[in-house]
Amino acid sequence: VTDRPLAAVVVVGSEILEDGRFDTNGPFIEKSLGLAGFRPILRLVVGDDREAIAFAVREASARASIVVVSGGLGPTFDDLSREGTADALGTTLARSPELESALRERLRRRGMTPPESVYRMADVVPGAEILANSVGAAPGLLVKGPPSIALVPGVPAEMEAMLLSEVLPRLQALHPGAPSLRRIFKIAGLYESEVEGLLSPAMPRWGDLGRTILASPGEITFILRGDPGDGERLESARADVLRILGGAIYSESDEGLECAVGRLLASSSMTLATAESCTGGMLGGMITSVPGSSSYYLGGAISYADDVKGRLLDVPAETIARHGAVSAETAAAMALGALERTGADLSLAVTGVAGPGGGSAAKPVGLVHLALGRPSGAIGRELRLTGDRGMVRLRACRAALDLLRREVFGSRREERA
Amino acid sequence: VTDRPLAAVVVVGSEILEDGRFDTNGPFIEKSLGLAGFRPILRLVVGDDREAIAFAVREASARASIVVVSGGLGPTFDDLSREGTADALGTTLARSPELESALRERLRRRGMTPPESVYRMADVVPGAEILANSVGAAPGLLVKGPPSIALVPGVPAEMEAMLLSEVLPRLQALHPGAPSLRRIFKIAGLYESEVEGLLSPAMPRWGDLGRTILASPGEITFILRGDPGDGERLESARADVLRILGGAIYSESDEGLECAVGRLLASSSMTLATAESCTGGMLGGMITSVPGSSSYYLGGAISYADDVKGRLLDVPAETIARHGAVSAETAAAMALGALERTGADLSLAVTGVAGPGGGSAAKPVGLVHLALGRPSGAIGRELRLTGDRGMVRLRACRAALDLLRREVFGSRREERA
């Protein structure tokens, strides 16, 4: 489907292999390369080991015309990406006097007198271009191949700044490849298998367009991909997806439900409050992760203990005694209490059994009651969610946001589709 | 430092390379291999491409005596790990009649009549042992080498169950390697550079024990590693770390601050409430991510809007008008209001400027005021935090938990150390 230049990523760091830490650099670099018009085909993760780095750079170079090496550029003894890359290229490092004096000047200005070994950072692969680090001390390197090999730091903020402003523009100039076309659909309120089942009758019409379904608890991402000549086919496939999935699509860009719902609230000048039991503040935390959320989110109560449901939300003790803390009645009372107490236009309430303990035959783990509060009253929804405690809570938060989106802004989406 | 058997991991999935998705299987498998006594030295991530999978299995096999391949075992056309592995081994797949009839029986019982192509899942590498999948349909395979090559599914729940109950016990029998020794220290309230600076005078005494410092916002992990014969040296290094870092260490197992603080609260039978502004519920969400947190956490208020600080927490409008919403005075009033309103024994309040907007010269982005409320009054702390919105909020939550830990349970830690 593609003739984009192939790219490979080498991630260096023993802590990634030995301690189960997540590497976020590999995914960031690959996504950025993809958006810049290249096609990532391989990632190698190796430890702080000169021979292993050399192996990885050699293998990456043999299979891709662009190689990005992340990590191992610092001053300490276990920073070996410069040496490993030189080994892979069959050359030896040379000290750059300009770089060394720039580093001396930088450290002097900061009042630091580090050991001389720090100037290892001025050793360069002969002929490589030096890349500025706008965030930290370690410079990057670009070997203009073929293949092109870029060495960037492992500290995420340094890597990101250098990749976007120094590396990608140079790679795009060296390897003119057409950017690939991509359409993204973010979907809430359907399971992965439902999305697949609904779309499958249309798929034969799409030919060899690339397609991916990615499921996260309560949120599905569907991606269509084509080459530059596929524009028309991609638009017709997009029309199929919009028609079939309709209001289940909450966005056509790669954003969370909390961003899309926040935008709807901001543009309608309505305010929101929350009342949370089993999610314990997670819903509020998710809503306020969006910059600018103070323009529509007022706050609310975390009524984890039953007594606090009365104290902060005026849920009658009798409602809880009769129907239980996890019930449609309690959810509705929480939603209306939050509305009343905060003065918001809308409210969302969540109460449920997140597990692993606390379930019963009548109210099993995964049972969640949501309520959307409006001045005219509360609308409830009962959910039976699967997964562990973290997944039940995450699904519950997203289902609450989706309830608000569909009930309050449902028509908005239909207009667009 | 080690003669543990070397292990390599191959992760298969185009969505990982093309869409910037995080692969959690690679880290899980490597961590599990490490705990089982093996040494992960390489991870290769490739797309759903037969030739690329064959390449990765070949390279992994050349460098490690144990290879785990994750993903690409399902029934669809792009599940190619069986074929790629057979190619790498220079053999061809053979249909297992037993496995095919077991799959037919499984699908029949579920009332499913899938296309015949689904029985590709019964194709096996000749001589390989079939591994049961207790969660899903796709069976795994174990080629007994050398090298040993295990093929496990890519669905995390299926992979985890199969790895732990089917793969690791067999690998340990095939490759008797001694488990490595490890001491872990979780640290709060210090920066990475402070931890390094404090420990560096002691390091020469520790010889060649492996050491790693990992920083996440507001939480540092320090790990010491040795071989089976290093027990005594490891204990003496551990004593150094405990003596030097003292009360900054909140745990000696790999757990978050919210777990350690939760245990302290549970064992002291004290209850906690929260009052959050800039963290918007994130602190409550973090506290309630711990199963059983209902035994000590009552809930509280998310007072994101100033007006709600008065409505739900009785913060006087005059306090906010005079000192501002982000001030020691407002934080203290929020903490005492939460105590009063919920009836808890302790409370934590957070108010600050999370950014990116909203900062001023006097109150810049990253300024956060915490308060710990007790019946005797509130104790405040001012923080100047760095990082983006997400990091400022995460650091603020962890600093709040650490304030509680140190002020209320400080002596507890000193007893242990």
Contacts of B386 (CB under 8 A, 6+ apart): B366, B392
Exposed (0-12), middle (13-18) or buried (19+): which is B208, by Cβ within 10 Å? exposed
Is A51's pLDDT higher than 70? yes
Q: Is B341 on the interface with A (CB under 8 A)?
A: yes
Geometric angle at alpha carbon B188, from B182 and B194, rounded to 5°: 85
Q: Is A136 on the interface with B (CB under 8 A)?
A: no
pLDDT of amino acid B217 = 83
Q: Bigger pLDDT: A285 or A215? A: A285
pLDDT of amino acid B140 = 97
B280 to chain A: which residues are within 8 Å by CB?
Answer: 281, 284-285, 287-289, 293, 297, 299
- The amino acid present at B250, given as its one-letter code, is Y
Residues across chain A: 417
pLDDT of amino acid B303 = 97
pTM here is 0.79
| Of the listed ranges A17-26, A195-204, A356-365, B258-267, the one predicted with least confidence | A17-26
A62 to chain B: which residues are within 8 Å by CB?
Answer: none
Q: Is B139 on the interface with A (CB under 8 A)?
A: no
In angstroms and rounded to an integer, the radius of gyration of the C-alpha atoms of chain A is 27
Residues A298, B307: C-beta atoms closer than 8 Å: yes
Q: Is A266 on the interface with B (CB under 8 A)?
A: no
Q: Is B164 on the interface with A (CB under 8 A)?
A: no
pLDDT of amino acid B178 = 63
Exposed (0-12), middle (13-18) or buried (19+): which is A269, by Cβ within 10 Å? exposed
Is B139:B132 a contact under the CB 8 Å cutoff? yes
pLDDT of amino acid B111 = 79
Contacts of A27 (CB under 8 A, 6+ apart): B16, B20, B21, B22, B23
pLDDT of amino acid A179 = 65
| Average pLDDT of span A162-184 | 87
A393 to chain B: which residues are within 8 Å by CB?
Answer: 285, 288-289
Which residue, B228, B226, B232, B247, is CA-closest to B184?
A: B226
User: Which residue has tokens 């397609």?
Assistant: A211
Q: Is B279 on the interface with A (CB under 8 A)?
A: yes
Q: What percent of the residues of chain A are helix, what percent strand, and what percent coil, each to the nearest 5?
A: 45, 25, 30
* Per-residue pLDDT tens digits for A185-194: 999 998 877 8
The alpha carbon of residue A255 is apart from the nearest alpha carbon of chain B, in Å, by: 13
Residue A60 to residue A52: CA distance in whole angstroms: 12
The b/e string for A242-266 (b: 16+ C-beta within 10 A; e otherwise) is bebbebbbbbeeeebbbbbbbbbbe
Segment 292-331 of chain A within 8 Å of chain B by CB: 292-294, 297-305, 307-308, 311-312
Diameter over CA atoms, chain A = 80
The alpha carbon of residue A46 is apart from the nearest alpha carbon of chain B, in Å, by: 5
Instruction: Write the DSSP string, A132-170.
Output: --SSSSPPEEEE-SSSEEEEE-SSHHHHHHHIIIIIHHH
B307 to chain A: which residues are within 8 Å by CB?
Answer: 298, 342-343
Structure ipTM over 0.85, yes or no: no
Contacts of A45 (CB under 8 A, 6+ apart): A10, A11, A12, A13, A16, A17, A23, A26, B26, B42, B43, B44, B45
The alpha carbon of residue B344 is apart from the nearest alpha carbon of chain A, in Å, by: 10
B217 to chain A: which residues are within 8 Å by CB?
Answer: none
A52 to chain B: which residues are within 8 Å by CB?
Answer: 41-42
Is A405:A257 a contact under the CB 8 Å cutoff? yes
Q: Which residues is B183 bridged to in the sheet? A: B224
The alpha carbon of residue B38 is apart from the nearest alpha carbon of chain A, in Å, by: 10
Residues B27, A42: C-beta atoms closer than 8 Å: no
Coil, helix or strand for B221?
strand
pLDDT values of chain B reduced to their tens digit, one per residue, 417 residues = 457 899 999 999 988 888 767 888 999 999 889 888 898 999 999 999 999 999 999 999 999 999 999 999 988 888 999 999 999 999 999 999 999 999 998 888 877 777 888 899 999 999 999 999 988 889 999 999 889 999 999 988 899 999 999 999 999 899 887 667 889 999 999 887 788 889 999 999 999 888 877 777 889 888 888 887 889 999 999 999 999 999 999 999 889 999 999 999 999 999 999 999 999 999 999 999 999 999 999 999 999 999 999 999 999 999 999 999 999 999 999 999 999 999 999 999 999 999 999 999 999 999 999 999 999 999 999 999 988 899 899 999 999 999 999 999 984 443 333
Contacts of A417 (CB under 8 A, 6+ apart): A242, A243, A246, A247, A249
Is B238:B182 a contact under the CB 8 Å cutoff? no
B280 closest CB neighbour out of A17, A46, A285: A285
| Of the listed ranges A1-10, A238-247, A339-348, B332-341, the one predicted with least confidence | A1-10
Residue A11: what are its φ and ψ, rounded to 5°? -105, 125
Contacts of A326 (CB under 8 A, 6+ apart): A277, A278, A351, A352, A353, A363, A367, A368, A369
Its sign, for the CA torsion A324, A329, A331, A334, is: negative
pLDDT of amino acid B414 = 37
B214 closest CB neighbour out of A15, A276, A358: A15
Q: Is B239 on the interface with A (CB under 8 A)?
A: no
Q: What is the mean pLDDT of chain A?
A: 91
Is A411's pLDDT higher than 70? no
Residues B305, A342: C-beta atoms closer than 8 Å: yes
Q: List the single residue in B with minimal CA-CA distance to A387.
A: B157
Report the DSSP pairing between strands A346-352 and A272-276.
parallel
A285 closest CB neighbour out of B44, B212, B279: B279
Which residue, B60, B57, B78, B76, is CA-closest to B15?
A: B78
Best probe of the B interface among A46, A57, A288, A348, by most B CBs < 10 A, is: A288
Residue A130 to residue A167: CA distance in whole angstroms: 10
Its sign, for the CA torsion A283, A288, A293, A298, is: positive
Best probe of the B interface among A12, A302, A339, A347, by most B CBs < 10 A, is: A302
- In which band, very low, low, confident or very high, does the pLDDT at A387 lie, cut at 50, 70 and 90? confident
Residue B81 to residue B69: CA distance in whole angstroms: 8
| Average pLDDT of span A397-413 | 86
pLDDT of amino acid B413 = 42
